[in-house]
Amino acid sequence: MNEEREVLNYDALVVGGGIAGGEAALNLANTGYKVLLVEKDRSLGGKMILLSKVFPTLDCSACITTPKVSEIARHKNITIFTESEVTAIVKKSENNFTAQITKKPRYVRVEDCTACQLCEKACPVSVRDEYQFGLIGRKAAFIPFSIANPKAAAIDIENCTLCGACEKVCPTHCIDFTMETKYYELHAKTVVLATGFNLFDPLLIPRYGYGQYKNVITSMQMEREIAPTRPFNTILRPGDGKVPDRIAYVLCTGSRDATVGNPICSQICCMYSIKQAQLLMGALPMADVTIYYINIRSFGKGFEEFYQQAKGMGVNFVKGKIGKIAEKENGDLILRYEDINEGVVREAEHDMVVLSVGVKSNPTVGKIFGRGELKLDPFNFVAQEDLLGSPSKTSIDGVFVAGTASAPMDIPDSILSAGSASSEAISYLIQHQEL
């Protein structure tokens, strides 16, 4: 492609603006290095900013994420590119990386947008809201979510009818459909990869009925239902708007399952399911919550106590492997499962089933570097060259990995990992600084 590229120079490139990338960028910036933080989405904050609460403390996730994201956005040493993608990185020599970056147009001048939402009200289009995991609609001119950063409107150009209604009502005239994709060539001295993870797609297990049975939802959909910025007024079944009474969790959906290509444990599903169960019992005091599990892995600090707390609250734990989910005419769901303790097959009826989907690697990270330079592990996470001695080092000297780009992990471990990656990057920058 012969597009014109603007040349940029920074000390560090951080790929991914989730909690790990943000933390790494902050550490680098606080040490005085100039950082370019590249995020593919319209907002910083990754998956964490969309969570309700965090385990095992039940702290509000947004209350932790938003100040951090705000600090990142305001930092004088950090430049943020949202809706942008790093398409290629080449290591020219030590301390000398060249990256190709593509920045999609937002069709809104962020610096002029006051987030008044008049464009959103004027927009006639309604499409499924990806930030509410399809449970509800959003407009084509929209603010991604209430705590998004940047808090500015964006135009979903693929679903926009180009009617111009948003432009007409915008008091600051910040909507601009003449914006085009921009291309950059970045020169940086070090790179931190914080590309995060993908959630397992439950459509790959048809016997669970996801997509077919509307009251089978994913854990991220439930996460949104129990968040303060939830899609509905309370917790409802998407199939018919009923307030559910009997809610089941199916752990290890797409984890520890070689048949779907993911034999490893996702590390977080047991605990986030237990967290959601506790929150559900608070929101719906009369509800029965049952967690179907193979093993509960409560290995972290405070995790076992958190598990015991859920039991004490009345969450029902069944050691059982789900064979099949079927739907009744009224939308209720029949779970057919192997009772592992008794060695028999049983059936149980629930109003709603939550699939505790696992963690998969983000395949985009491997494609950024040419000729297999960046080594991946057997599950396509970034390989850690010295797991015990220097866990953030990758196969390329000067490129470091942070957070779930290297393996499934929880939020505290992601932040620790980002601290490690930024420390290694700073050490690399100091070692190779031009004298």
Partner 1 sequence: MEVEVGKTAKYLREKQGVPEHVKEELKEFNRIKRAITDILQNEELTIAQLSERLQIPKHDVTYYLMSLVKYGVVATGEIDDMDEYYSYKLVK
211 binds partner 1 (CB under 8 A): no
Residues numbered 305-344 forming contacts with partner 1, rule: CB under 8 A: 331
Minimum distance, C-beta of residue 140 to partner 1, in the bound complex (Å): 9
Beta partners for 59? Answer: 54
Residues 166, 250, 280, 407: which binds partner 1 (CB under 8 A)?
Answer: 166
Closest to partner 1 by CB, 239 vs 398, is: 239
How far is 200 from 86, CA to CA, in rounded Å?
Answer: 23
The nearest distance, CB 165 to partner 1, in angstroms, is 8
SS3 285: coil
Contact call for residue 300 and partner 1 (CB under 8 A): no
Stretch that binds partner 1, among 65-73, 161-169, 273-281, 310-318 (CB under 8 A): 161-169
Please report the DSSP string for 146-171 in residue order: TT-SS---EE-GGG-----HHHHH-T
Question: According to CB under 8 A, which one of 13, 216, 227, 236 is a site residue for partner 1?
Answer: 236
CB of 155 to partner 1, least distance (A): 9
**Among the listed residues 275, 276, 264, 265, the one whose alpha carbon sits nearest the alpha carbon of residue 302:** 275
Q: Is 247 in the site for partner 1 (CB under 8 A)?
A: no
> Shortest gap between Cβ of 228 and partner 1 (angstroms)?
15
Do 223 and 51 contact (CB within 8 A), yes or no? yes
Residues from 277 through 296 that contact partner 1 (CB under 8 A): 286
For residue 187, state whether it binds partner 1 (rule: CB under 8 A): no
Instruction: Give the nearest distance from C-beta 116 to partner 1 in angstroms.
Output: 15
Residue of the chain from 51, 62, 113, 160 that contacts partner 1 (CB under 8 A):
160
Give dist(CA 192, CA 405) in Å, integer. Answer: 10
Binds partner 1 (CB under 8 A): choice among 176, 185, 338, 397: 176
At its nearest, how many Å lie between partner 1 and the CB of residue 229? 11
Q: Which is nearer to partner 1, 57 or 234 (CB)?
A: 234
Crossing angle of helices 269-283 and 219-226, in 10° steps, is: 40
Dihedral angle of Cα 156, 123, 80, 266, to the nearest 10 degrees: -60
| Of the residues 8, 163, 340, 383, which one makes contact with partner 1 according to CB under 8 A | 163
What is the DSSP code (8-state) at residue 128? E
In this chain, which of 9, 57, 114, 126 binds partner 1, going by CB under 8 A? 126
- The candidate with the shortest Cα–Cα distance to 412, out of 48, 42, 8, 34, is 48
**Using CB atoms within 10 A of its CB, is residue 398 exposed (0-12), middle (13-18) or buried (19+)?**
buried
4 near partner 1, judged by CB under 8 A: no
Among 8, 58, 60, 125, binds partner 1 (CB under 8 A): 125
Q: Does 171 bind partner 1 (CB under 8 A)?
A: no
Give the nearest distance from C-beta 185 to partner 1 in angstroms.
26
Q: Please name the residues in contact with 236: beta carbons below 8 A apart, sequence gap of 6 or more.
A: 225, 242, 243, 244
Residue 214 touching partner 1 (CB under 8 A): yes
How is residue 353 written in tokens?
Answer: 């089933």
Going by C-alpha positions, the residue among 394, 368, 429, 432 that lies closest to residue 98 is 368
Q: Exactly one of 60, 110, 116, 136 binds partner 1 (CB under 8 A); which one? A: 136
If binding is defined by CB under 8 A, does position 116 make contact with partner 1? no
Minimum CB separation from partner 1 for residue 139, in Å?
8
| Nearer of residues 159 and 423 to partner 1, judged by Cβ | 159
Span interacting with partner 1, options 41-49, 175-183, 299-307, 340-348, rule CB under 8 A: 175-183
Query: Which CB atom, from 46 or from 231, has the smaller least distance to partner 1?
Result: 231
Q: Which residue of 58, 127, 260, 334 would you call a contact of partner 1, by CB under 8 A?
A: 127
Say how many residues make up the chain. Answer: 435
Angle at 232 between CA 230 and CA 237, to 5 degrees: 115
Q: How many CB atoms lie within 10 A of CB 192?
A: 32
In contact, 192 and 24? CB cutoff 8 Å: yes
CB 239 within 8 A of CB 23: no
How far apart (Å, rounded) are the C-alpha atoms in residues 278 and 281? 5
Q: Which of residues 44-83 bind partner 1 (CB under 8 A)?
A: none
Interface contacts to partner 1, rule CB under 8 A: 121, 124-128, 135-139, 158-164, 166-168, 170, 173, 175-178, 214, 231-233, 236-243, 245, 286, 331
